[in-house]
Amino acid sequence: MTIYLLCFALFLVGLYGILTKRDLVKIILSLTIMGYSANLFFILFAYRSQALYPILSEGAEMAPMVDPLPQALVLTSIVIELGTTALLVALAVRLYQKYKTFDITKIRRLSG
């Protein structure tokens, strides 16, 4: 249970960063932290303590195994997050070229 709470704390750290930070780069970092916590949550659900890796081999006894499907899904989701992060960084670089700042309070040509 503790481990899930810690994972949730990580999620909240990310959310706090997105909501309060003014720097574009820090917002991107907070988004990444939030994404990590979601991935970690998925892996934690599949984890069984004392379980084996899920590969059947000859001579091995049948024993509890960890669920392999979430690991495959999380790999996919990490790749997707990499893509989103790369796009966000590219946008941040372009915004810096236009406004000469990373401060979102100064990047305000559009009204909310």
Partner 1 sequence: MILPYFIIIPLLAAFLITLIAGEKDHWGIAFSLITGIVLTVLAFYSFLVFRSETLVYQMGGWKLPYGIVLVQDALTGYMLVIVNLIALTSLLFSVNYIRYLDPDWKYYALFMLLLAGMNGVILTGDLFNLFVFMEIALLAAFALVAYGGRAEEYEAAFKYAVMGAVSSTIILVGITVTYSSTSALTMAAVADALSQGDPKIVHWIGGLFLVGFGLKAAAMPFHAWLPDAHSSAPAPISSMLSGVLIKVLGIYVIMRLFFNVLGAPDVFIRIFLVLSAISILVAGFISVNQWDMKRLLAYSSISQIGYILLGLGIATPLGILGAVFHLLNHAIFKSLLFFNAGTVEMMLGTRDLKKMGNLTRALPLTSNTSLIASLAISGIPPFNGFFSKLIIIIAAIQAGYPLYAIFAIVGSVLTMAALMKVQRYGFRGENEVDIGDKKVNWKMNTAMATLAVLCLVASVLIIPGIKEAAFDPVISVITEKTQYIQAVMGR
Residue 3 CB partners (closer than 8 Å, separation 6+): 44
Name which of 9 and 69 has its Cβ closer to partner 1: 69
Name which of 28 and 61 has its Cβ closer to partner 1: 28
The CB-side HSE value for 20 (13 A sphere, CA atoms) comes to: 6
Calpha distance 48→30 (Å, rounded): 29
Cβ at position 19, least distance to partner 1 in Å = 10
Name which of 2 and 97 has its Cβ closer to partner 1: 97
Q: What are phi and psi of 23, to 5 degrees?
A: -90, 130
Question: Which residue from 105, 82, 77, 79 is spatially nearest to 28, judged by alpha carbons?
Answer: 82
Cβ at position 69, least distance to partner 1 in Å = 8
Name which of 58 and 76 has its Cβ closer to partner 1: 76
The token pair at 93 is 């670089």
Interface positions with partner 1 (CB under 8 A)? 11, 15, 18, 24, 27, 31, 34-35, 38-39, 41-42, 45, 69-70, 73, 76-77, 80-81, 83-84, 87-88, 91-92, 94-95, 98-99, 107, 109-110, 112
